[in-house]
Structures are given as structure tokens and as C-alpha cells.
Chains A and B, each alone.
Chain A
């Protein structure tokens, strides 16, 4: 079945440091890939997505590139801020059209210190 593997957390960085959170996936078809962010006590917010190979999703300084050859979708940000502290989830949807049945990774807690 489908699965998503994220790097183990927690990740602690200083403000303005470079961030990488690794994500690899296993899927039977050609999935769409997502990064979601969850701030403390809140629900999930879509951060970015990519729907086909070599697509780059980007938002709020975060970006991730859909790499089919390595089945990866690593999240990066060049300079993190304290406000980026949250849990980040990588996810995939292996269904076409508007069916967003998602398989999630375990999440990575990011803490950014001033």
C-alpha cells in the first residue's frame, strides 16, 4: 500500500537557519504530493503541493520538488523564522480527480529559536 516516510524529529534550529525536512514515498500510481503545517492546537493548513514529476510547489518561502526518480518530496526553506515553529506533515494522494484521500507521514516537529 501507499506510505510516506518523514525524517524523525524534533528539529531545532536558530532563526535564519536553512531548513530541510526529508520526505520519501511509496505509491502504486502517480500520486499528488503535499506538505501540510499544523500550528499548536490548530488543524492542518495546506502549505504547498505538486501534482506531477519535476513540479515545484512553493509558498511562504518554503519549496519542495516532486522527484519521481528518488520518490522524494523534501521540504526546504532558506531562512526560517520563529513563527515557522510547527509540525510539518508530508502526504500523498494516490487518487485522481478531486478525491483527496490522503496518506500522511508521521510529522516532524520544528522549533525555531530566536
Chain B
């Protein structure tokens, strides 16, 4: 079946630095991808809709200047967490179609 990959699978960074997470659809094109955030033992919270060739649509309460999304091609969307802080530590998951990536665990020290 269709596969969605994410890179990196985990990352540790210092407070104040920026981290980029990539989401790729490996064998299909996706004009729309979604980014979710999952806290420990909790459900997934939709952060934003990534639209190829146009601006992302952010959910209420999600800071667009902090979570930068770029969907430059039909197979790649990136999420950049800017000026990361410990409260940004979480599991970030992308989806394309009905398929989900394996997730990226971000730890901010």
C-alpha cells in the first residue's frame, strides 16, 4: 500500500534552535498533507493543513510563525519548529491521504 515517510524519526535540540521535519509520500502524489501533534498518552491534534503551492491552513490556537509549513512539491511537505522550547517537545505526525507517517519525536532541552 501507499507509504508515507518522515525524517528524522527523532531529534534532540537545544532551546532556541529550529528543527525541520520532512514528510514524503513515497509512491503517490499528495496535493494536501496534514500535520498532527500527539502528547504522551493522548490523541492526535490537527495542527495544520499543508497545501501544495499555496499557504498552509492552521488550526485555531496554532502559531503559524512558530510552526512553518512548506509544501514545495507534490511529494514533500516540511514542518519547521522555529525557536523551539521545551514545551514544543512532542510527537509530530504527518499524513497524506489516509496514510500516516511513522512520526518524529522532538525533544527540546
**A binding-site residues for B, Cβ under 8 Å:** 34, 36, 42-46, 49, 89, 98-107, 109
Contacts and interface: CB of A to CB of B under 8 A. Distances in A.
A42 B103 CA distance: 7
B44 interface: yes
Interface of B: 6, 32, 34, 41-44, 46, 49, 93, 95, 97-103
A34 B99 CA distance: 11
24 contacts: A36-B100, A42-B103, A43-B6, A43-B102, A44-B93, A45-B100, A46-B98, A49-B98, A89-B43, A98-B97, A100-B34, A100-B95, A100-B97, A100-B98, A101-B49, A102-B34, A102-B44, A104-B43, A104-B44, A105-B43, A106-B42, A107-B42, A107-B43, A109-B41
B98 A101 contact: no
Contacts of B41: 109
A101 B46 contact: yes
